[in-house]
Amino acid sequence: MMTAKRKFVFIAATIAFLVSIVILASNAKFLRAKGTDDCFACHEDKSLTMDKNGKKVSLFVDPALYKKSTHAGFDCTDCHEGYKPEEMPHNPNKKKIDCKTCHDKVKSPENSVHKNKDCSSCHNPHSQRPMKELKANNTNLCFDCHNNKNVKDFTTSLHFKKNIGCEGCHKGGHEVQKITKSDIPSVCGKCHGNYQKDFNNSIHHTVLKNGNTNAPNCVSCHGSHKINNSRMTIESQACLKCHLDEKLFPGENKGSAKFVANYKTSIHGSIQKDGNPAAGCSDCHGDHTIEKMSDPKESTVRAKMMNTCGKCHPGEVTKFNNSMHGREFNNGNKDAPSCFDCHGEHDIKAVLKSDEFSKINQADICLKCHSNNKVTKGKTNHTEDYKLSFHYLALKDGNTAAATCSNCHGAHDMKMASDPSSNINKKNVDRTCGQSGCHTKQLGEYTGSVHEVSLMTKGNSDAPNCVDCHGNHQVKSTDSLGISEGSRQRGIIKLCSSCHASVKIIRNNNLKNVAGTYLESFHGLAVRGGSKQAADCGSCHGNHNIRHSSDTLSTINKKNLGKTCGKCHPGASEVFINSKIHTQDTDEDNPVLLWISRIYIVLIIATIGGMTLHNILDYRRKKKDIKAGKH
Amino acid sequence: MTTEGKYLRMTKNERIQHFLLLSSFITLVITGFALKYPEAFWVKWIIFFIGENAFEVRGVVHRIAAVVMVAGALYHVFYIIFTKRGRKLVKDLWFYRSDITDLTESLQYIIGKRKERPYFDRFSYIEKAEYWAVVWGTVVMGGTGLVLWFENYFLPIINVYGMNIATAVHWYEAILASLAILVWHFYFIFLNPDVSPMNKAWYTGYLTRHQMEHEHPRELAKIEEEMSERTAAGKTDAE
């Protein structure tokens, strides 16, 4: 039997023991070694599993990792509270481990998508490393669950390469958010603020705001996870993805899918430059700033055309700005053409290769405006005449060297003839026609001729250049020169006579009336009568190489007359050397002829006059006799 | 008034000569002036009918007509030398003092200073002028025409200078000849009240008594004198 005093001592000792146990138990290190090691005795076996709701669950815990983890100082039972090692399973009550017992300050906001997830989904408690390390590796951690291809492609993205992880957009830690469509611009805008600002002013943003579910945001064009700066992503996959969809952009007008589809076969879309299309959508339309096509801020409106095309074609734009078209355009003439009035828009073609903009079709493009009276102020016939020209007919016959509008007028640098720097200025026409590959031979002949010297050296605008004889738009081949006149010779005579029989030109230039004397000569009469053999002006004077008789290169120089006349009058060639050709009957250089004609005129008047008088009198007298009955 | 009677004016041979002359002359006039006036309306018609080679055809036809005319002229020379009638023709066409009298009387008559008509023989001064004008014209036109035809042969000989003269002479002579035929010959055979509407001798060969009385009274008188002499001789023979 115990005494009361002994009873008190026993109770006190027991309390002291229990208190010391509690104190000791609170010292983790002291207890852990023993308990944890006991656990690892089984749980370091990699094959250790259990059935949990029909699933085989691994019960392996790597002791090495555990000992390195932030939880290394804790005993298993610190978390696995109430586990009974002697029982299988240890946790018959299926009591959940609550991390918040310790981590009571960790909170997931309501809007976090991971709100209802176990901590262990991200944080493995047996190998949990310090947060610093976790943050550095959290992208891979996310991939543990978010392992579809789209998300995994993030590793190829520009963001990933620049060490921006998932948390860069989705927020990290416990605040992970799903990004809704309407959030996207602001999420991207956190870093790409300027682009967001541009985008907010764009047509895409406007329709997005208006609730159009097809309206694109950042990821529609750039992709979500797999963002990189390849242009192919932007162009073909992004813009055309929507803009080729006939359901989204119906019809055939500007802006329709069909209209945009032309891009794919255009020179911009079909020709590669550094592996990309020569020009992509954004090269002309801009990217984030894209506006409605009618918006004056849009880069493809008429007013901005020169800047937009000039980004890649600066030379052409400079020429254009100096051209007649360009000056009118810059003066605000709404009829003046801009780039795409001639070249087309999405269907823009290479100049030489395509059917639409080949030489033969160029006339039609120019005539779109130049057969319109409003544009050309009535001067249309001569341009339509081009289609009757030898040039056009030759093109039609497949001679691709034949000239079309731009060959003479220039393309971007076309100017009015009155402009001294124009290709078709009176003084430049010969070089335009004689340009390399065209009429170089004829230019050589024309150079140094009386006509050329008079025009170029003396500045005499009466002197003809190529087009004064051949016509400009309705330029004729030499054989067809006289079609309307019946013969080639008559055509030439009519042509030369337009100046050499013009009183004004003869007087102003102190010329001889060679046309008049020629027309009355046998040569002239024969040609007028339709002879196809008699000499015309060119037979003696040459065509392009007409020179004064005093010029030793002239066909009518004394040295060359024999040869020239001898073409038709063989053997008689020497006699021409001292002969005057363009003489008239009254020419004082030929007195015999003068007197013969004078005598004959007197003779004819006297004889025929006398005869007429004689017969009138005879008739009257005989009639009088008959009347008087003298039969 | 007696209109009966047939008086031989032109034999068949002479009529053929005249026909060759008139047809070649008209052809030469047309084809010649067609060269000089290529834009005239009637030339355009001809060109329209002949077609594209009208100018070349014109030249060939002109030369053929010229050959016909010159050939006819050469035959005529033969005719007047080697036939009796031909020699008489030249004799009758030659100029005599009586022609001056005829001319004076004729002029007096037509201006009304004389009542009687001039007493013309077989060929009046009108016809003589006509004949010798044709002779002159044929020589001039034939000569200059030949030069122009073979221009490459003649050019070294007469030069461009001579060529221009030949051209001018051919031209002026053509005008003179054409107008002379028109004014002088056509008047006397068409409009002339004595023969109007036409003197048919060029295809019948004969003149009427009426025409003889008016145009060739002296010849008529000679013929009748000869006839009466022959009748008298016949009577004498008969007696």
The tens digit of pLDDT for each residue in B25-37 reads: 999 999 999 999 9
B30 is a domain residue: yes
A623 is a domain residue: yes
A600 is a domain residue: yes
* CA gap B53, A533 in Å, rounded: 11
Residues of A with CB under 8 A from a CB of B: 522, 525-526, 528-532, 569-572, 574-576, 579-581, 583, 585, 590, 592-593, 596-597, 600-601, 603-604, 607-608, 611-612, 614-615, 617-624, 626, 631
Amino acid at B21: L
Q: Quick check: helix, strand or coil at residue B7?
A: strand
- Report which DSSP code applies to A179: P
Cross-chain residue pair B38–A530, CB shorter than 8 Å: yes
Q: Residue A603: give the domain boundaries.
A: 590-631
Positions of chain A with pLDDT under 50: 28-33
- The answer to whether A473 and A381 are in contact (CB under 8 A) is no
Q: Based on the number of CB atoms within 10 Å of its own CB, is A337 exposed (0-12), middle (13-18) or buried (19 or more)?
A: buried
* CA gap A597, A603 in Å, rounded: 10
Q: Which residue from A576, A593, A624 is facing B165, i.e. has the nearest CB?
A: A593
pTM, two decimals, is 0.67
* CA gap B61, B26 in Å, rounded: 11
**Other Cβ atoms within 10 Å of A562 Cβ, number:** 15
B49 is a domain residue: yes
Closest chain B CA to residue A571? B152
- Report which DSSP code applies to A323: S
B203 is a domain residue: no
Q: Which residue from B156, B183, B187 is facing A571, i.e. has the nearest CB?
A: B156
**Nearest CA to CA, how far is A323 from chain B (Å)?**
48
Count of domains observed in chain A? 1
- The answer to whether B131 and B93 are in contact (CB under 8 A) is yes
Partner A contacted by B54 (CB < 8 A):
yes
**A66 CB contacts (<8 Å, ≥6 apart)?**
A72, A126, A127
Taking residues B126-142, what's their average pLDDT? 95
Residue B93: the pLDDT is 95
Cross-chain residue pair A621–B55, CB shorter than 8 Å: no
- The answer to whether A349 and A266 are in contact (CB under 8 A) is yes
Cross-chain residue pair A615–B55, CB shorter than 8 Å: no
Amino acid at A242: C
* CA gap A293, A253 in Å, rounded: 12
**Nearest CA to CA, how far is A605 from chain B (Å)?**
9
Q: Tell whether the torsion through CA atoms of A106, A112, A114 and A117 is positive or negative.
A: positive
Residue to test with chain A: of B116, B161, B175, most A Cβ within 10 A: B161
A147 is a domain residue: no
**Cα three-residue angle B86-B89-B90, rounded to 5 degrees:** 95
Cross-chain residue pair A530–B52, CB shorter than 8 Å: yes
Q: Tell whether the torsion through CA atoms of A32, A37, A38 and A43 is positive or negative.
A: positive
- List of chain A residues whose C-beta atoms are within 8 Å of the C-beta of residue B184: 611, 615
B55 is a domain residue: yes
- Report which DSSP code applies to B191: I
**Cα three-residue angle A286-A289-A292, rounded to 5 degrees:** 90
Residue B191 has pLDDT above 90, yes or no: yes
**Nearest CA to CA, how far is A612 from chain B (Å)?**
6
Cross-chain residue pair A592–B161, CB shorter than 8 Å: yes
A345 is a domain residue: no
A442 is a domain residue: no
- The answer to whether A452 and A545 are in contact (CB under 8 A) is no
Number of A/B CB contacts below 8 angstroms equals 116
Cross-chain residue pair B184–A615, CB shorter than 8 Å: yes
Cross-chain residue pair A619–B164, CB shorter than 8 Å: no
* CA gap B121, B114 in Å, rounded: 19
Q: Residue B81: give the domain boundaries.
A: 7-93
Phi, psi of A291 (to 5 degrees): -125, 170
Cross-chain residue pair A525–B110, CB shorter than 8 Å: no
Residue B1: the pLDDT is 37
Closest chain A CA to residue B111? A617
- List of chain A residues whose C-beta atoms are within 8 Å of the C-beta of residue B140: none
**DSSP labels for A36-100?**
HHHHHHHHT-TT-EEEETTEEEE----HHHHHHSTTTTS-HHHHSTT--TTSSSS-TT-PPP-GG
**SS3 labels along B126-159:** HHHHHHHHHHHHHHHHHHHHHHHHCHHHHHHHHH
Cross-chain residue pair B152–A571, CB shorter than 8 Å: yes
**A311 CB contacts (<8 Å, ≥6 apart)?**
A283
How sure is the predictor about B236, in pLDDT bands with cuts at 50, 70 and 90?
low
Beta bridge partners of A537: none
- The answer to whether A299 and A307 are in contact (CB under 8 A) is yes
Q: Based on the number of CB atoms within 10 Å of its own CB, is B174 exposed (0-12), middle (13-18) or buried (19 or more)?
A: buried
Cross-chain residue pair B151–A572, CB shorter than 8 Å: yes
Which ranges constitute the DSSP H helices of A117-248?
Answer: 131-136, 138-143, 149-152, 158-161, 167-170, 184-189, 193-200, 203-209, 218-222, 231-232, 240-243
B65 is a domain residue: yes
Residue A340: the pLDDT is 82
**Nearest CA to CA, how far is B224 from chain A (Å)?**
21
Q: Based on the number of CB atoms within 10 Å of its own CB, is A174 exposed (0-12), middle (13-18) or buried (19 or more)?
A: middle
Q: Quick check: helix, strand or coil at residue A359?
A: helix
- List of chain A residues whose C-beta atoms are within 8 Å of the C-beta of residue B160: 575-576, 579-581
Closest chain B CA to residue A533? B56
Using CB atoms and an 8 Å cut-off, which of residues 15-34 of chain B contact chain A?
A: 34
Helical (H) or strand (E) element with A466: helix A466-470
Q: Based on the number of CB atoms within 10 Å of its own CB, is A329 exposed (0-12), middle (13-18) or buried (19 or more)?
A: buried
- List of chain B residues whose C-beta atoms are within 8 Å of the C-beta of residue A593: 161, 164-165, 168
Cross-chain residue pair A596–B172, CB shorter than 8 Å: yes
Phi, psi of A288 (to 5 degrees): -70, -25
- List of chain A residues whose C-beta atoms are within 8 Å of the C-beta of residue B191: 615, 619
Beta bridge partners of A52: A55
- The answer to whether B120 and B103 are in contact (CB under 8 A) is no
- List of chain A residues whose C-beta atoms are within 8 Å of the C-beta of residue B136: none
Q: Based on the number of CB atoms within 10 Å of its own CB, is A323 exposed (0-12), middle (13-18) or buried (19 or more)?
A: buried
A117 is a domain residue: no
Cross-chain residue pair A603–B1, CB shorter than 8 Å: no
Cross-chain residue pair B155–A626, CB shorter than 8 Å: no
Q: In the structure encoding, which two tokens stand for residue A478, read together? A: 């030499």
Using CB atoms and an 8 Å cut-off, which of residues 187-226 of chain B contact chain A?
A: 187-188, 191-194, 210, 214
Residue to test with chain A: of B169, B172, B211, B214, most A Cβ within 10 A: B172
B150 is a domain residue: no
Cross-chain residue pair A592–B56, CB shorter than 8 Å: no
* CA gap A319, A413 in Å, rounded: 5
**Nearest CA to CA, how far is A480 from chain B (Å)?**
16
Residue A479: the pLDDT is 60
Q: Does A89 sit behind a cis peptide bond, omega within 30 degrees of 0 on the bond before it? A: yes
Cross-chain residue pair B175–A522, CB shorter than 8 Å: no
Task: Report ipTM (2 d.p.).
Answer: 0.92
Q: Which residue from B38, B164, B188 is facing A528, i.e. has the nearest CB?
A: B38
How sure is the predictor about B146, in pLDDT bands with cuts at 50, 70 and 90?
very high
Structure confidence by residue, pLDDT tens digits, A376-424: 666 655 667 788 888 888 888 888 888 888 888 888 888 888 888 898 8
**Nearest CA to CA, how far is A558 from chain B (Å)?**
15
Beta bridge partners of A57: A50
Q: Which residue from B47, B109, B179 is facing A604, i.e. has the nearest CB?
A: B179
Residue in the block written with tokens 């031979």: A441
A204 is a domain residue: no
Count of domains observed in chain B? 1
A615 is a domain residue: yes
Q: In the structure encoding, which two tokens stand for residue A68, read together? A: 């390195």
- List of chain A residues whose C-beta atoms are within 8 Å of the C-beta of residue B187: 611, 615, 618-619
Q: Which residue from A526, A611, A618 is facing B55, i.e. has the nearest CB?
A: A526
Angle between helices B151-180 and B125-149 (to 10 degrees): 160
Cross-chain residue pair B176–A603, CB shorter than 8 Å: yes
Q: Which residue from A531, A621, A624 is facing B55, i.e. has the nearest CB?
A: A531
- Report which DSSP code applies to A454: I
Which ranges constitute the DSSP H helices of A377-461?
Answer: 381-384, 390-396, 405-409, 429-433, 440-446, 450-452
